[in-house]
Amino acid sequence: MTNLNEYLGGRIFNAKELTPDLKKTLLDQGATQTTAIYQIKGERYCRRCLMKLPQNSGKYNYCRHCINLGKINSSDTLFITGSDIVFPIQEKYLDWDGELTDNQQRGVHELLNAFNRHCDHLVWAVTGAGKTEMIFPLIEQALIKQQRIAICSPRVDVCIELFPRLQKVFPKTTIGLFHGKSLERYHLTQIAIMTVHQLIRFEKSFDVLIIDEVDSYPLAGNQMLHQAIKKSKKSIGMTVYLSATPPRELLQKVQKGQVTLSKLYQRFHGHPLPEPRCHLLFKEINFLGINPRLRLKLNRIVSSHQRLMIFFPSIPVMEKFAQKLKKYYPTLSFVSVSSLDKKRLEKVQQFRQHQVQVILTTTILERGVTFKRVMVLVLNADAKEFSKTSLIQIAGRAGRDKKYFDDEVHFYYRYYNRQIQQACREITYLNQQVKK
Ligand SMILES: [Zn+2]
């Protein structure tokens, strides 16, 4: 027996994937049929991802942009399922007894204003400002209006971290977590948490679309994903962008009045952002095994059992360092993670649960993860992989807990470059804004 829930809600399917019976049922339920490739002014476009097909595609008569989601040939037909869903009315939606700070409350007020006016809105909040709590009242209002909400991030880890938090505060609402690595099949839920890539499969599905970490890879500068965001929102609805380091294009839209803005310079606990301490190394980090200056720092950390995140610009640099670390500190417990690591999520969990003292990571953990009481070290902070944005995000991993707001952040480098200078300046600037 087919579970219809796995198909409904503005989903896009290739007709080839559907049985005749299912097609008939979906059409009865409001689905529409359309050609997979359409033409405007002689140019051909893919209906699923809205990307242009090359003029002389020759034997490639399919869309190469969204091929990861299954091949779409020019002769194919797409089914777009109905998205007029009536969700059940509940007695109570939000079950949360936390308190918002005055700053957060101001942000919530601005968000709800934008919601009522169906206006797109950017929340520009420093790392640890409590963005997630700020979207609770917005989600609640949308639920009361029986609307559908998607919360998306370019990063899987961010989605995974968000899921249990929302389940906890909206216990009666159906919530789904969908991403490429998840075993959970798509099914219709009132709240959907997913990676931005998943949006390519939707059309006019969501009343409220919340995009977290809008400046982060792979969303930054990716035309297909930005179009997917536009396409998956209902014609009357709103998109909310959340970022600690918003991209220039978005700030330009704010200037033009196309997007409204909330700014939060203060962390939820009211303490300033930890300002990075900068250390010039005269030799490589692996000089004499581990650079003596760095080793001195590590000795102190290891003996004081301080929890530590160490960021590296690349996997090879990290792996080499991991070997050295093992050699010099044989009793130290640590894990290392990267984008290629299949056990990444488990390892992060181990660190979270204090099963290991240290986590070595590439920029994959620069954002979206929250640990209590953790010192942060960036090695080779002058490497090209660490942009200004990236360094600000990394520094933002520290001091997130009310009790341990002053966790240390250290940048180690051989050249004090522009990125390091700009990141440090921006953090200082943000802290000064609070004092004003
Ligand atoms: Zn496509």
CATH code for the domain of 124: 3.40.50.300
- Note whether 208 and 283 are same-domain residues: no
Rounded to the nearest angstrom, the distance between the alpha carbon of 47 and the centre of ligand 1 is 7
Rounded to the nearest angstrom, the distance between the alpha carbon of 230 and the centre of ligand 1 is 15
Q: Which residues contact 157 (CB under 8 A, 6 or more apart)?
A: 344, 345, 348, 364, 365, 368, 369
- Both ends of the chain: CA-CA distance in Å? 63
Q: Which residues surround ligand 1, an ion (CB under 5 A)?
A: 46, 48-49, 63, 65-66
Q: What is the pLDDT of residue 234?
A: 95
Residue ending a domain, among 216, 232, 264, is: 264
- Note whether 191 and 289 are same-domain residues: no
Rounded to the nearest angstrom, the distance between the alpha carbon of 51 and the centre of ligand 1 is 6
Q: Tell me how far apart the alpha carbons of residues 61 and 74 are, in angstroms, rounded to a whole number.
A: 6
Rounded to the nearest angstrom, the distance between the alpha carbon of 247 and the centre of ligand 1 is 25
Domain count, the chain: 3
**Quick check: 410 and 377 in contact, CB under 8 A?**
yes
Share of the chain above pLDDT 70, in %: 98
Average pLDDT value for the chain: 93
Rounded to the nearest angstrom, the distance between the alpha carbon of 72 and the centre of ligand 1 is 7
Q: Tell me how far apart the alpha carbons of residues 329 and 100 are, in angstroms, rounded to a whole number.
A: 43
Mean pLDDT within 40-49: 91
Rounded to the nearest angstrom, the distance between the alpha carbon of 46 and the centre of ligand 1 is 5
**Residue for token pair 């049922």:** 25
Where in the sequence is the domain holding 153, given as residue range(s)?
102-264
Look at residue 260 and give its three-state secondary structure.
strand
Q: Tell me how far apart the alpha carbons of residues 139 and 209 are, in angstroms, rounded to a whole number.
A: 10
Rounded to the nearest angstrom, the distance between the alpha carbon of 92 and the centre of ligand 1 is 40
- Note whether 62 and 13 are same-domain residues: yes
Rounded to the nearest angstrom, the distance between the alpha carbon of 192 and the centre of ligand 1 is 22
CA quadruple 65, 68, 70, 71: dihedral sign? positive
pLDDT at residue 130 tops 80: yes
- Note whether 206 and 302 are same-domain residues: no
Which tens digits make up the pLDDT trace of 317-341? Answer: 999 999 999 999 999 999 999 999 9
Rounded to the nearest angstrom, the distance between the alpha carbon of 248 and the centre of ligand 1 is 27
- Note whether 197 and 250 are same-domain residues: yes
Q: Which of 215, 114, 99 lies closest to 155 in space, CA to CA?
A: 215
